[in-house]
Structure 1
Amino acid sequence: MRGKALLTALLAFSPLTAWAETLVARVDISDQTMAVSLDGDALHIWPVSTARPGKFTPVGTFHPQSLRRMHYSSLYNNAPMPWSIFFYGNFAIHGTTAVELLGCPASAGCIRLAPENAEVLYGLVLQAGFADTWIIVQE
């Protein structure tokens, strides 16, 4: 019986028996908000900052390409980008120190969140996986 219990426990943590949860982070550029849902259940609505005038935030549907717990921008004077979720080349969703600007276009193109919200989203992406995470950016 002990061997069967061990096998059951191992299978419970096997990727073959895990089921995918669909994570959607929907960014509305006109409202400067992100709505996060998991398997269709609304979890969060957060203010964001997207591209300021003269810059652009890519519009479309994306999957995460890479994650970085702490990234420093090589394009913008080593600006800190905690909890980075890269989704289109150098464009990422990440935490910002300029939280007073959230809700207004202020970035060079990335999608900025309050650091605590970026950390939550980062964890959700790790949980769901890249293939089951959708980043939808709309105007």
Structure 2
Amino acid sequence: MNRHFVTLLGVCLLCLLPVLGAAAPLVAKVNVSSQTMTVIQDGEPLYQWPVSTARSGKWTPRGTFTAQWLSRYHKSSLYNNAPMPFSIFFRGNYAIHGTDQVTRLGQPASAGCVRLHPDHAATLFYMAETVGLSNVRVVIEN
């Protein structure tokens, strides 16, 4: 094989490494319109769950975020110590977390976080712990 071709191929592969490494093994994809979350691991959809995002007058951020930190027994410092079990924080005070208001799942009800059934939040939380925060993406779209 031509030495210049091999060198060029090596350079091309090095340029592609950041792109190839950009795919996260765990993605929590939230659709605000349908109030659902699809959990995708290694490109395979595993779960689809009802969620609650921001109620009228509040806002759930849109975009793609990397998980920042986890808190198993979190309580809100902004909303009267409201329980936020299995929290995965992805943008400042915004998190995916369990809720005790399970009857409201499937409709906007939160102050901006993404609420899940506590069992689903626990599943996602432990998956995030397993793959590591740098490998967790939160995608929120309309």
Q: TM-score range by the shorter chain?
A: 0.7 to 0.9
- 1:20-71 CA-partner distances (Å, limit 9, x unpaired): 9710110000000000011011110000000000000000000111100011
Q: What is residue 122 of structure 2 aligned with on the other side?
A: 119
Q: What is residue 53 of structure 1 aligned with on the other side?
A: 56
The AA in structure 2 aligned to 1:89 is G
User: SS at the partner of 2:140?
Assistant: strand
Query: Percent identical across equivalent pairs?
Result: 56
Moved over 6 A (4+): none
- 1:100-130 CA-partner distances (Å, limit 9, x unpaired): 0000000000000000000000011011111
Q: What is residue 29 of structure 1 aligned with on the other side?
A: 32
Aligned residues: 120
Give structure 1 stretches of 5+ with no counterpart: 1-19
Q: What is residue 66 of structure 1 aligned with on the other side?
A: 69
The AA in structure 1 aligned to 2:97 is H
Q: Which has the higher helix share?
A: 2
Contact 2:54 2:60 in 1 (8 A): yes
Give structure 2 stretches of 5+ with no counterpart: 1-22
Measured after TM superposition, the shift of residue 132 of structure 1 is 1.3
User: TM-score, normalization: structure 1?
Assistant: 0.84
Residues 92-103 of structure 1: pairs in structure 2 closer than 5 A:
92-103=95-106
The higher radius of gyration belongs to: 2
The AA in structure 2 aligned to 1:93 is I
* In structure 1, C-alpha distance between the alignment counterparts of 2:82 and 2:120, rounded to whole Å: 18
Q: What is residue 14 of structure 1 aligned with on the other side?
A: none
